[in-house]
Amino acid sequence: MDVGLSILMVLQATALFLIFVSLQNLDFTLLSLPFLYASLVSLLVSLASHPSINIPTLLRKKQDGTFPIWSLIIFSPYLYFVRIFSFLRRFTSGEEPYNEICEGVYVGGWPYSVDKLPPGNPAIIDCTCEFPRKEEFKGHSYLCLPTWDTRAPQPGEIESAVEWASRKRAQNVPVFIHCAYGHGRSVAVMCALLVALGVVEDWKKAELFIRERRPYISMNSVQYKALEEWSKHRLSTPSIDEVNSSSAVSSTSSGRPRPDRPKNRSG
């Protein structure tokens, strides 16, 4: 079981608690209290993000990508920490904010500014539960799949995202799928989309296809499992064409006469 974020947040909670204790011993009581609170928030996030619990709705991110004020206040130690950490990591990594995987389909990290968004007014699939949708992007079509870092959307959510993105591509609208860094959560959804669009045959080949264009992707066992379940469900679920064809054959074999077509009448 890949505990990922849970372990990181436990370590952070422990470090913050040790700072709290140290400040208490130095009689800096008021100064120590924020560290105690931040430690408790980190511990709560650790529990909620554990694979056996997995409650990404804890932070109450809305379907429009915004957070209620009370959430921004209560979970501020975590929400603002990940934003600062994300900015610093991406600033020092030198990695491209996004990459085009196939025509009109992009994957990347959280677009915290306009220049981090692909061109062409893309539809956005947001796979994060911890980052907000920026105000500048309100005019873009948007789908939110709130997911903890190092976790994966549920197979049903992946399928919903694939159908949504496929409709956008049919309308010739670019699609941008993002998570924090464009390495895990968003890549899982992108793998499924490439299969649905017929670019590759299966999600394993999709991963290799994406890696050629975005070398630092790194899905984990949780994300592999979600893709495997999505793939099995997709193979076991008949398409609409198959259902219609089956219904037509069943209707014909039952012996019911087909209705006659109306004859053309001259004026």
Q: How far, in whole angstroms, is CA 62 from its chain's centroid? A: 14
CATH number, domain 96-237, options 1.20.1050.10, 3.90.190.10, 3.30.460.10, 3.80.10.10? 3.90.190.10
- β partners of residue 178: 108, 126
Residue 233: the pLDDT is: 86
Predicted local distance difference test score (pLDDT) of residue 237:
56
Q: Which residues of the chain have pLDDT under 50?
A: 1, 238-267
With contact defined as beta carbons under 8 Å apart, do 217 and 187 qualify? Answer: yes
pLDDT given for residue 90 in this prediction: 87
pLDDT of residue 3: 63
- d(C-alpha 226, C-alpha 189), whole Å: 10
Return d(Cα 112, Cα 192) in angstroms, integer. 25
Q: What is the pLDDT of residues 89-112, one digit of tens each?
A: 988 888 999 999 999 999 999 999
Query: How confident is the model at residue 234, as a pLDDT?
Result: 84
Mean pLDDT over the full length of the chain:
89
- 203-224 pLDDT, tens digit per residue, is 999 999 999 999 999 999 999 9
Residue 114 DSSP symbol = G
pLDDT of residue 24: 96
Place of tokens 């400040």: 23
| pLDDT value of residue 91 | 85
Q: Can you give the pLDDT at residue 94?
A: 87
Residue 58's nearest CA partner among 45, 69, 46 is: 45
